[in-house]
A and B are shown apart, each in its own frame.
Chain A
Amino acid sequence: MGTNTELLQGTLELLILKSIALGPLHGYGVLLRLQQLTRDTLQIPQGSLYPALYRLEHQGLVTFEWGESENKRRAKYYKLTAAGRKRLREEADYWQRLSGAIGLVLAAESSDL
């Protein structure tokens, strides 16, 4: 796998929410932005991207409208709803706390005890 890290279960939705929060994107755009933001260190399961988007849509966290892509083709652009924005804040908070806590544990040395 080299530097290509696999995604933790359940984090794909959080990443999608965040990438859309920066501006409306179509599905492929989400992939590109995630690759760009992670500097290609994360393996994004492309096939799972769409079911994840539909789940978010089903929960009312994202909505969409049809627009035109950079190469003049019809594409479905996703954007966050108010509920999605709230969920993103909560999830990001949670993630920060969790990773901070895990970081603390991992950084622990015998002198800390």
Chain B
Amino acid sequence: MQRLAAIRSFCRAWFLRRRMEREMDEEMRFHLEARIADLVARGLTCEDAEYQARSEFGGVLRAKDEGRDARGLRWVDDLGGDLRYALRAIRRAPVFTAAAVASIALGIGANTAIFGVLDLLLLRPVPVSAPHELVHVTTAGDRGDANSGSSNAPWFRKVASRTDLFSDAMLVKHDVHKIGIDGRVEPLTSQQVTTNYYQLLGVPALLGRTFVPSDRPETGGSPVAVISYDLWQRRFAGATNVIGASLTVDRQPYTIIGVAPREFSGLVVGWTMDVTTPLDTSKYDDARGWSTMPLIARVKPGVTPAQISAQLTPVLLRMSEGVTERFRNRYLKRVSVESAAQGLTDLRAAFSRPLRLLMGAVGILLLIACVNLAGLLVALNTARQHEFGLRAALGARPERIMRQLFAESALLAVLGAVPGVILGMAGGNRLLAVLPKFFGPVGVTVTADSRVLAFALVATVATTLLFGVIPAFQAARVNVSREVVRTNVPATATRVRIGRALVIAQCALSVVLVAGATLFLRTLLNLSNVDPGFDVGHVIAVTIDPAGTDYEGERLRGFQREMIDALRALPGVNHASVTTSSPFSGNIDGRRLSVPGFEPRDLDDATIQTNLVGPGYFDTLRLPILRGRAIDARDRPGTPAVAVVSESFANRYFGGLDAAIGRQFAIGRAQSAVTHEIVGVAREARYQTLREPSDRIVYVPVFQALNVRPESFEFVIQTAGDPSRAIALTRSALERLRPDAPILAIQTMTGVINGRLLSERLLAILGTFFAAVALMLAGVGVYGLLAYLVARRLPEFGVRVALGARPIEMMGLTLRENVMLAMIGCALGVGAAFAGLRVLDGLLFGLSPMDLVNLATAAGILTVVSLAAAIVPARRAASVDPLVALRQE
């Protein structure tokens, strides 16, 4: 209440300043005139009355000043003065100002960019009621790799029945579906949810209604859909008669019953769920089948993730008894609970650590920029000691001078921050644009919203405090008599000490950044040099997803044969084949294996990776066959089942490559197992990650396989020339032959591998960029300090030269200072890197975070930069003219 009054009064005074002044004037004049009139009435003469009235009142100006103060206007007036003065001060030092503004812009910009992306993917809560109560109940395996949400209907019902833990729970399945509106079909992101979805999230319909229990498909609810605000605007032009209109999802008709609010586009970060329909849970009633279908629950207050995990894990273990051992070990050994307050995203798992590391790097960068500016300001303010002395002599208190300097720092910070934030948002969007598209259509952008701006504001204020405090304190400690009397004052020893300490800090921080960046660069280099075992340079992979089409069984195989022939006939194509899991597609499948006479040690020992391939697969990838033959046209339906195995497979189960040829083994469990004869051994290849060879792979002829499901698969093509040029040709050939072929993607193998190395690449490129900026700033810092020291010691140098010192000795004097700074900085930096870079463990490849060569390289780079920065000041010291220098004294 009172605070409100104060704000109102302040605003009135601030916005109606002229009126307030006029009123104050009028009121006081009225007072004086009334007093004079009263005094005259008591018999005084006019002059006496006026004199007495004025003396009783005291200073009118002072009263007005206090009046302004009372309304909180004083600091506004002072601030205005400070800023005007600051503007003049920074205009006097244009080079310094430009350097300062540029380094702040870089620092704030880099921070805004990384924060913007980090916030979108990791920090921002979804716009639902009480988002912090939402959890994603997932399952995880022995090795701790959490699955992106395996569930089925029986498991869901078990979880939802735990009202001691959850107030409600739901299933959400999202994917791209073919949505038809008014006869036009387009692939759109859509989701199927249990009917309590909107109620659980507390999201009301903008128009129409959301789902009610009677919409459940299991109990015969009619097919209904809620559409996104986006889709409503785009396809229905925001018309209210959309309620009751119909659309199709994969050719099934649905009636639109509601439109979701604009700000709510679903729980998956970056996806806009255009169409939401009720999930038919009866399709997932088989307790042995586990689908990727996030289970989201709202926890009861006070229930912790650990409690949920402890309570539900035994239930999960009982429920998962029917599935294969391997699947269970891999995904269903315990319940893991993650907060869903920030929504769901696959990007989070992949990019959370790199983004956090980059955030740390830009934080260090901003710190370096601050230290750099602090050092430069200390040196710059030395030249202004006389001015500060004069102000102090005229009555300015130290606080006043400090405030003035702070105003200058703040002005610099704001001048740098504004372009920084603009650059940063552009940079953040650039970064989002390179994030992998196959995770989903990333429709998010970094915009100037309240969160990003609040972050930028906090960063700017922190920056100002960091680089403004030391110089302000330094400058305010003026010795009035000395400053005013003497004009040319040598800097005090403390000032030099502070300057040195700041440069050393910068060097140390730069070493940490450089060491980190070189680690990432070398990791990327090491990974790029890994031989995956096959030819990468000339291969294209075409990913086909027949789900939802009528490509099944023999029709599918026919399509595949036909396509292979068509692709082979294309100009510039050497080989073409088909596979269920081309390298790095992430589709490779684990199966049970039994080898006669071989007793597996454990489950893993009895599990292999299978890849169904067509004839010509090994030629296409140039994957060498070391023994026997490849899979070829002979392997048709009806011929004996054969297999080509990898080196590690032959060694593990048959004790050698030659020994494996002609032997038999079975794939699959018990009665459904199929016996295969080994006809060849292929070289080891890397299928899942470049970091390690894939273990024990079996290649089975795709055209021999009997049980054909419409799984996704790839055509692989080897081109004679540049594969990127063959992409368009391949696409048009495919579309000509089968216009309805569901092509998911056409990529070069190089592109696929680059995509796999994305987070490594981001860390290497951005890390190197940040390290380069840090080095540049450190160079400027070293230069600034040395230039200042040399200027200060010019008279001394003059005397030395006059006494016969040679120029080279003058240079040595300067360089000695520089070498000392760099050495201490490197020592501290290497120490900090040694301790701090452990966080990079697991992200590197082929070297350790504490790699000594790497640390030495970082220290060496910094030494070179600091020496380069020292050249100009050192030459100035060497070329000193004794006469000029002495005259200056």
Contacts from A to B (Cβ < 8 Å): 26-28, 31, 45-52, 54-55, 57-60, 69, 71, 73-76, 83
Contacts and interface: CB of A to CB of B under 8 A. Distances in A.
B808 to A, nearest CB: 70
Contacts of B95: none
A29 B62 CA distance: 21
Given A28-B35, A46-B56, A57-B9, A51 B70 contact: yes
B2 interface: yes
Nearest to A29: B34
Contacts of B37: 71
Contact of B30 (A45, A60, A73): A73
A59 B6 contact: yes
Given A27-B27, A47-B62, A71-B37, A54 B71 contact: yes
A76 B60 contact: no
Contacts of B350: none
Contacts of B5: 58-60, 83
A27 to B, nearest CB: 5
Nearest to A82: B1
B58 interface: yes
A50 B9 contact: no
A97 B7 CA distance: 33
A69 B34 CA distance: 10
A48 B26 CA distance: 16
Given A26-B30, A28-B30, A69-B30, A58 B63 contact: no
A19 to B, nearest CB: 15
A51 to B, nearest CB: 4
Contacts of A27: 27-28, 30-31
Contact of B63 (A28, A51, A59, A73): A51
Interface residues of B, number: 32
A35 B60 CA distance: 21
Interface of B: 1-2, 4-6, 8-10, 23-24, 26-28, 30-31, 34-35, 37, 56-60, 62-64, 66-67, 69-72
A74 B59 CA distance: 23
Contacts of B70: 51-52, 54-55, 57-58
A31 to B, nearest CB: 8
Contacts of B34: 28, 69, 71
B60 A47 contact: yes
Contacts of A74: 26, 30
B63 A50 contact: yes
A71 B62 CA distance: 28
A88 to B, nearest CB: 14
Contacts of A55: 70
Contact of A75 (B4, B30, B69): B30
A49 B37 CA distance: 19
A47 B2 contact: no
24 contacts: A26-B30, A27-B28, A28-B31, A28-B35, A31-B31, A46-B35, A46-B56, A47-B57, A47-B63, A50-B31, A50-B64, A50-B66, A51-B63, A51-B69, A57-B70, A58-B9, A58-B72, A59-B2, A60-B2, A60-B9, A69-B30, A74-B26, A76-B23, A83-B5
B810 to A, nearest CB: 63
Contacts of B8: 60
A60 B6 contact: yes
Contacts of A31: 31
A18 B37 CA distance: 26
A48 B66 contact: yes
Contact of A60 (B4, B26, B66): B4
Contacts, number: 79
A60 B30 CA distance: 24
B397 to A, nearest CB: 22
Contacts of B9: 57-58, 60
Given A27-B27, A28-B34, A50-B27, A60 B63 contact: no
A28 B39 CA distance: 13
Given A27-B27, A59-B2, A74-B30, 11 more contacts: A47-B62, A48-B66, A50-B28, A51-B69, A52-B70, A60-B1, A60-B2, A60-B5, A69-B34, A74-B26, A83-B1
B69 A50 contact: no
A47 B6 contact: no
Contact of A48 (B10, B28, B31, B63): B63
A80 B8 CA distance: 17
A46 B27 contact: no
A74 B8 CA distance: 24
A100 to B, nearest CB: 28
Nearest to A59: B2
Contacts of A75: 27, 30
Contacts of B4: 60
Nearest to B35: A28
Contacts of A54: 67, 70-71
A54 to B, nearest CB: 4
A4 to B, nearest CB: 12
B194 to A, nearest CB: 53
Which of A49, A50, A52 has the most B CB atoms < 10 Å from its CB? A50
Nearest to A60: B5
A46 B57 CA distance: 5
Given A58-B72, A60-B4, A51 B66 contact: yes
A30 to B, nearest CB: 10
Contact of B67 (A45, A50, A73, A83): A50
Nearest to A47: B58
The 6 closest A-B pairs by CB, nearest first: A60-B5, A47-B58, A51-B66, A54-B70, A55-B70, A47-B63
Nearest to B9: A58
A76 B28 CA distance: 10
A60 B8 CA distance: 9
B2 A83 contact: yes
A86 to B, nearest CB: 10
Contacts of B64: 50
A34 to B, nearest CB: 13
A90 to B, nearest CB: 13
A31 B32 CA distance: 12
Contacts of B6: 58-60
Contacts of B63: 47-48, 50-51
A50 to B, nearest CB: 5
Contacts of A76: 23, 26-27
Contacts of A71: 34, 37
B59 to A, nearest CB: 6
A74 B71 CA distance: 23
Nearest to B34: A28
Contact of A46 (B2, B26, B58, B69): B58
A76 B19 CA distance: 13
Contact of B31 (A46, A59, A83): A46
Contacts of B31: 27-28, 31, 46, 49-50
A111 B166 CA distance: 75
B27 to A, nearest CB: 5
Contact of B58 (A45, A52, A69): A45
A74 B29 CA distance: 11
B392 to A, nearest CB: 29
Nearest to B33: A73
A28 B4 CA distance: 28
B30 A50 contact: no
Nearest to A51: B66
B662 to A, nearest CB: 98
A51 B67 contact: yes
A87 to B, nearest CB: 9
Nearest to B10: A58
Q: Of residues B5, B58, B60, B62, which shows the largest number of chain A Cβ atoms within 10 Å of its Cβ?
A: B5
Nearest to A56: B70
B461 to A, nearest CB: 27
Nearest to A73: B30
A108 B5 CA distance: 45
A58 B30 contact: no
Contacts of B69: 51
A71 B69 CA distance: 31
A23 to B, nearest CB: 17
